[in-house]
Amino acid sequence: MIVMSLNGWLQILFFFAIILVLTKPLGLFMAHVFNREKTFLDPVLRPIERLIYRLTGVNEEREMRWTEYAVTMLLFSAVSMFVLYLIQRLQGYLPFNPQHLPGVDSSSSSTGAFVGSAFNTAASFTTNTNWQSYVPEVTMSYLTQMAGLAYHNFTSAAVGIALAIAFIRGIARREMQTIGNFWVDMTRSALWVCLPFCIVGALVLVAGGVPQNLRPYDKAQLVDKGIAVEVDKKDANGNVINDAQGNPVKESQPVTEQTIAQGPVASQEFIKEWGTNGGGFFNTNSTHPFENPTPFTNLLEMLAIFAVSAGLTYTLGRMTKSQKHGWAVFGAMTVLFFAGVLVAYWAESKGNPLLAGVDQTNSAAQSGGNMEGKEVRFGLANSTLWATITTDASCGAVNSMHDSYTPLGGMVPLSNIMLSEVVFGGVGAGMYGILIYVVLAVFIAGLMVGRTPEYLGKKIESYDVKMAMLVVLVFPLVILIFAAISVVSPNFGTSQIANPGPHGLSEILYAFTEGAGNNGSAFAGISANTLWYNTTIGITMLIGRFMMIIPMLAVAGNLAKKKIVPPSLGTFPVTTPLFTVLLVSVIVIVGALTFFPALSLGPIVEHLLMNAGKTF
């Protein structure tokens, strides 16, 4: 029985109505920022910007060809990644470490050995993925969280926005060799688009109950003194004692106190959503009451995930002088968003048919449906809405556990990422991602009418299509190769999954899909903090970010050099509902044809077996 509630749909529609209202003013603001037009923040930020350029020797008037733009971006990202790696390895010797946490991957760290976690985390936060195979509150010091992770939350988001603006310039310009200056675009992204909004957002979160301090963790004495846990028995040197069969000897250990983690949470929390980063200060991410305490903070954080990406569609229309085209792209994103949230909400509202005798109906007393892995304070509608939003964007922050969703409900977040996360998408990344699909859609339209395809007055030629196809092919290739190796390797692949059968396949497939899509969420039944998964997912994240950016910039540079040709009778308009339908179709068909076999073996067959009475 379908038990989606009117109240739930009103909350979903209310959220989207706010996004719709924010799209124009935020998009107009970003157009002013990157067109170097005056904004209300200029009196404060312009002197800071000039000082940065003076200290770093950047000539803000000099522009770059696409090749120089790409190389500069790659060098900046490589240096930033290396610095973050060093901070993690050396954090035991650095300040702001009240818990005295050792260096990541050291013998005394939470992993107990080198497992490639520092490399994985450095790759993750540099690529705007923020996948976390570790437990943050027992692994990262306050300095690492602030100077390492939060810094990358700003810069990786700023890089993504800069790249999107460079692509838009390539479309808008005519007979030019340059697409902008990477340093200027990134600086303006960080100073104007990220920093002011995140300062305000962080203060609002503090007012809502999110901690922001540098205090050591608190200890609370338990009222119930009869609690005990079973742990490995160790000798005087701290080594685990094994029995004659080689298995660890267990002993009972009483638990008398609880450690309450805290720290500079709010300052990292808002940028993780505004910059579609997603990495949590706590292991449970935005399900944790210190990250997301109330329904109001939940709404605020969801709005932050979509705000910039939605606004960039208006920026696209403004900078290309075709506002209707910007709204047509927004319309395609909207259709795919509502399709995802409808399926997820419907699937989770139906509940689990194997829980016979359990009341799963919606009522005034409960949300109903499948509430496993979801917070009661958010309910079913806001949990499935967040799951759809965070995987439409390349955010990855979660307020519920995707691994606990029903098979079809969990397939929605997985499918969203498989569509290259162009449904609003990550800040900047969603825009340049969907523009690649726009090029392909225009090319297909040109084939249908037998004319050279044109996009906003520029002819789309073989070079543009080849580069666009390279972007489209890199994504599934890296996912399916590493996933295939993992599922046939019991020693290091399937040994790390909590569930056998199709759900285990989904866990492995999700891990590499989120890596290539730079998302960072997970089917958390997989224990990925191993040398194999840290290394391969780290490589996947780097390929999914940079091997897709380079051909995208090649398209932008090629478009910038072209002449504008007047529209003719054979020109396919990119400002109409028909174009929106074509764009949605191209996105879905490319994703469906590529990943449908894998989805059939994973969530689809799991759904059929669940209805037949079998679980995994």
Q: What does the pLDDT read at residue 3?
A: 66
- Cβ-in-10-Å burial (0-12, 13-18, 19+) of 100 comes to exposed
Residue type, 179: I
Q: What does the pLDDT read at residue 465?
A: 95
Contact 271, 149 (CB under 8 A): no
Over range 466-485, report the average pLDDT. 95
Over range 96-125, report the average pLDDT. 90
Q: What does the pLDDT read at residue 448?
A: 83
Return the closest-CA partner of residue 349 out of 382, 393, 392: 382
Please give the C-alpha separations between residue 229 and each of 233, 255, 377, 449, in angstroms, as whole numbers: 12, 7, 29, 70
- Mean of per-residue pLDDT scores for the chain: 93
Residue 532 makes CB contacts below 8 A (sequence gap 6+) with: 486, 489, 492, 493
Q: What does the pLDDT read at residue 216?
A: 94
Handedness of CA 284, 156, 560, 465 (dihedral sign): negative
- How far is it, in rounded angstroms, from Cα 319 to Cα 111? 49
Q: Is pLDDT above 70 for 128?
A: yes
| Least trusted range by pLDDT, from 168-172, 258-262, 487-491, 563-567 | 563-567
Question: Above pLDDT 70, what percent of the chain?
Answer: 99
Q: What does the pLDDT read at residue 273?
A: 96
Phi/psi zone of residue 30: left (φ > 0), alpha (ψ -120 to 50 degrees), beta? alpha
Radius of gyration of the chain (CA): 24
- How far is it, in rounded angstroms, from Cα 6 to Cα 19? 20
Q: Is pLDDT above 80 for 133?
A: yes
Angle between helices 117-126 and 531-560 (to 10 degrees): 20
DSSP 8-state class, residue 399: S
Angle between helices 501-516 and 531-560 (to 10 degrees): 40
Q: What does the pLDDT read at residue 487?
A: 95
| Least trusted range by pLDDT, from 152-161, 421-430, 441-450 | 441-450
Contact 456, 325 (CB under 8 A): yes
pLDDT in tens, 314-348: 999 999 999 999 999 999 999 999 999 999 999 99
Over range 306-314, report the average pLDDT. 97
DSSP 8-state class, residue 91: G
- Per-residue pLDDT band for 2 (boundaries 50, 70, 90) equals low
Q: What does the pLDDT read at residue 237?
A: 75
DSSP 505-563: HHHHHHHHHHHHTT-----TTB---SHHHHHHHHHHHHHHHHHHHHHHHHHHHHHHTSP
pLDDT in tens, 16-36: 999 999 999 999 999 999 999
Return the closest-CA partner of residue 316 out of 433, 214, 235: 433
Q: Is pLDDT above 90 for 571?
A: no
| Least trusted range by pLDDT, from 80-89, 242-251, 291-300, 373-382 | 242-251
| Residue, of 548 and 358, whose pLDDT is higher | 548
pLDDT in tens, 236-275: 777 788 888 878 888 888 888 999 999 999 999 999 999 9
pLDDT in tens, 359-387: 888 777 788 899 999 999 999 999 999 99
What's CA 68's distance to the chain center, in Å?
27
Whose tokens are 């917070």? That residue is: 375
- How far is it, in rounded angstroms, from Cα 575 to Cα 572? 9
Handedness of CA 371, 376, 381, 383 (dihedral sign): negative
- How far is it, in rounded angstroms, from Cα 379 to Cα 319? 40
pLDDT in tens, 479-531: 999 999 999 999 999 999 988 899 999 999 999 999 999 999 999 899 999 99
Q: Per-domain residue ranges for the chain?
A: 6-217+263-611, 218-260
Over range 169-178, report the average pLDDT. 95
Q: What does the pLDDT read at residue 87?
A: 97
